[in-house]
């Protein structure tokens, strides 16, 4: 009986979702290159790249082209692009430590979650069916809910970037003044802040849950030794 031939390595790299991922990387590189000279174009390119994050996942499932490389490329692109924007915001607003703290939480929570997923032998870091936290399960279990939180978070950062007129802006003052100028913008900011707050809460829960799993793994390993 003839063995099935393994797909060539090059074909995996050329999966449609992965090509979208490469486009996202190039788009982000150009966006950050012109961020100081053309804030509006940067914001448009950054958001398009973010939207493409959902598109590559849809194409991966549609054409059965889900790959580990694509998933890693997707997450690395997300984390780096968000990290770069948070660094920029930390230089524009004061206190800048707010944005650097958000950056640290984002990286730490996802790193812990990925590593704990590996230890648990799961295929995806989004597999949290065994979690006892209702918010954590609702976030990863409902695509619409997770999508709202992610979009709100990224749009909030883009909005703050566009609102900043000078260096060392006072974060609270800029947000309050923007809300006073337009009722529509005030409503938008509230919606974005709610989604952002939920996502940061989930990040903290994710980090704590994943850290506990790593500790439990060490304890079990020592007991079996």
Active-site residue set: 78
Instruction: Give the DSSP per-residue string, 4-61.
Output: PPPPPHHHHHT-HHHHHHHHHHHHHHHHHHSTTT-HHHHHHHHHHHHHHHHHHHHHHH
Is the four-CA dihedral 207, 113, 80, 153 of positive or negative sign? negative
- Structure token digits, residue 118: 């590996």
Burial annotation 167-189 (CB, 10 A radius, 16+ → b, else e): eebebeebbeebeeeeeeeeebb
Reported residue count of the chain is 225
Through-space distance between the first and last CA atoms of the chain, rounded to whole angstroms: 43
Rounded to 10 deg, the angle between the 68-92 and 16-33 helix axes is 20
User: Cα separation of 60 and 73, whole Å?
Assistant: 13
3-state secondary structure of 93: strand
């Amino acid at each position: 009986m003839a063995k099935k031939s393994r797909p060539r390595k090059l074909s995996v790299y050329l999966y449609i979702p992965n090509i979208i991922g490469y486009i996202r990387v190039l788009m982000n590189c150009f966006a950050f290159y012109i961020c100081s000279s053309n804030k509006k174009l940067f914001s448009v390119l950054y958001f398009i790249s973010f939207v493409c994050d959902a598109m590559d996942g849809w194409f991966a499932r549609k054409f059965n082209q889900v790959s580990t490389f694509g998933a890693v490329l997707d997450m690395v692109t997300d984390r780096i692009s968000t990290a770069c924007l948070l660094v920029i915001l930390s230089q524009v607003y004061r206190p800048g430590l707010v944005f650097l703290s958000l950056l640290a939480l984002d990286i730490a929570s996802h790193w812990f979650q990925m590593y704990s997923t590996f230890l648990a032998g799961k295929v995806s870091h989004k597999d949290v069916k065994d979690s006892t936290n209702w918010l954590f399960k609702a976030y990863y279990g409902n695509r619409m809910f997770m999508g709202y939180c992610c979009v709100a978070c990224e749009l909030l950062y883009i909005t703050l970037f566009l609102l900043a007129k000078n260096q060392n802006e006072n974060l609270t003052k800029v947000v309050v003044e923007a809300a006073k100028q337009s009722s529509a913008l005030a409503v938008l900011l509230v919606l974005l802040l709610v989604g952002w707050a939920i996502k940061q809460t989930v990040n903290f829960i994710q980090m704590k849950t994943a850290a506990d799993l790593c500790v439990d793994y060490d304890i079990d390993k020592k007991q079996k030794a």
